[in-house]
């Protein structure tokens, strides 16, 4: 019998994602399960003899767990990670094609496939290194995060309503947000310009399921740098409108594959994954890919 270390965010999802339901589903599938809540102080104590880790939560919970794992030594650091997506956007799970009902996801563990997943290392911010799983970037998206918080829309409990509110707000601000100058060196080549958004992406989706990196994969050893130039303002707004109308139009984003990025943004709207951070304008930041940092079940 395989042993699972289940790390559960009890605040994510609904009754279908409760402790009792998760334990019932996992144990009925034939696994021995050690349950830990992210509200408990000891969830980080992972037995190295565990067969794999299961994270039941959203993108923020995955980031929290991965932050802890990256600081541990092997074999814990290299334990396979399974996801039971219970959050709002679930961009990491969706990028790994982990979809469907929880019971179906759990059943697939009996014939597991694994994939290596990269992380992005970020240097020169606030005097210490950081990392991301989803993306690091400037402009429209971190400004959306700021406005969501300011207008109290982060407190919306219903998942679908919150996603719709984020898209509506993104549509509104995309019409008026001004492009910013960005010094951008990708693998030694200059791609500087005036952009509404510059996102260094590891996943295929960010925010309210914006499908900005259709050709990327979290384990392909590269970032996709997604750029929205100022002259694409109307096109991007139309793309958001189409998502709100459930008729997503084809929009060709400017994407550049990268392993090493040096960037300076003439503005202060910046984020690492789902966290806004404070940087002075034109702060030089260095980002590089750490390949095969983690192992996920898909």
Domain boundary among 77, 112, 147: 112
Q: Judge if 134 and 107 occupy the same domain.
A: no
Q: Which domain holds residue 66?
A: 3-112
Where does the pLDDT of residue 200 fall: very low under 50, low under 70, confident under 90, or very high at 90 and above? very high
Residue 82 lies in a domain: yes
- The pTM score is 0.94
Q: Are 289 and 121 in contact (CB under 8 A)?
A: yes
Residue 298 lies in a domain: no
Q: Judge if 108 and 141 occupy the same domain.
A: no
Cα–Cα distance for residue pair 258/51, rounded to 1 Å: 33
CATH classification at residue 143: 2.60.200.40
Please compute the mean of the pLDDT values over residues 289-297 and round it to a whole number. 96
Domain boundary among 71, 96, 112: 112
Q: Judge if 211 and 271 occupy the same domain.
A: yes
Q: Judge if 11 and 82 occupy the same domain.
A: yes
What is the number of domains present in the chain? 2
Q: Judge if 140 and 283 occupy the same domain.
A: yes
- What ranges make up the beta strands (E) of 66-157? 81-85, 114-125, 128-132, 135-139
The answer for residues whose C-beta is within 8 angstroms of residue 157's C-beta and 6 or more apart is: none
Q: Judge if 125 and 222 occupy the same domain.
A: yes
Percent of the chain with pLDDT over 70: 98
Lowest mean per-residue pLDDT among 5-9, 128-132, 178-182, 218-222: 128-132
Please compute the mean of the pLDDT values over residues 203-221 and round it to a whole number. 93
Bridge partners, residue 190, by sequence: 185
């Amino acid at each position: 019998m395989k042993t699972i270390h289940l790390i559960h965010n009890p605040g994510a999802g609904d009754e279908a994602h409760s402790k009792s339901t998760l334990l019932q589903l996992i144990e009925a599938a034939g696994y021995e399960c050690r349950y830990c809540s992210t509200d408990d102080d000891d969830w980080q104590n992972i037995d190295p003899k565990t067969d794999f880790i299961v994270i039941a939560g959203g993108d923020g919970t995955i980031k929290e767990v991965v932050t802890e794992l990256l600081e541990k030594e092997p074999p814990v650091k290299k334990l396979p990670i399974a996801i039971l997506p219970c959050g709002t956007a679930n961009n990491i799970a969706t990028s790994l094609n982990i979809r469907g009902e929880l019971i179906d996801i759990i059943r697939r563990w009996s014939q597991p496939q694994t994939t290596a997943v990269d992380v992005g290392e970020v240097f020169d911010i606030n005097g210490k290194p950081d990392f991301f799983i989803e993306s690091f970037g400037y402009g429209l998206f971190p400004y959306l995060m700021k406005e969501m918080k300011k207008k109290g829309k982060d407190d919306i409990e219903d998942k679908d309503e919150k996603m719709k509110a984020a898209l509506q707000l993104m549509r509104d601000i995309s019409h008026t947000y001004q492009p910013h100058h960005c010094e951008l060196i990708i693998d030694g080549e200059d791609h500087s310009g005036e952009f509404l958004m510059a996102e260094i992406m590891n996943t295929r989706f960010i925010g309210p399921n914006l499908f900005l990196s259709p050709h990327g994969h979290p384990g392909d050893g590269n970032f996709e740098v997604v750029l929205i130039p100022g002259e694409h303002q109307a096109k991007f707004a139309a793309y958001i409108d189409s998502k709100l109308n459930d008729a997503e139009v084809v929009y060709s984003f400017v994407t550049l594959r990268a392993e090493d990025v040096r960037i300076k943004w003439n503005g202060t709207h910046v984020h690492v994954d789902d966290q806004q951070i404070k940087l002075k304008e034109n702060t030089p930041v260095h980002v590089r890919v750490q390949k095969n940092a983690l192992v996920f079940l898909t």
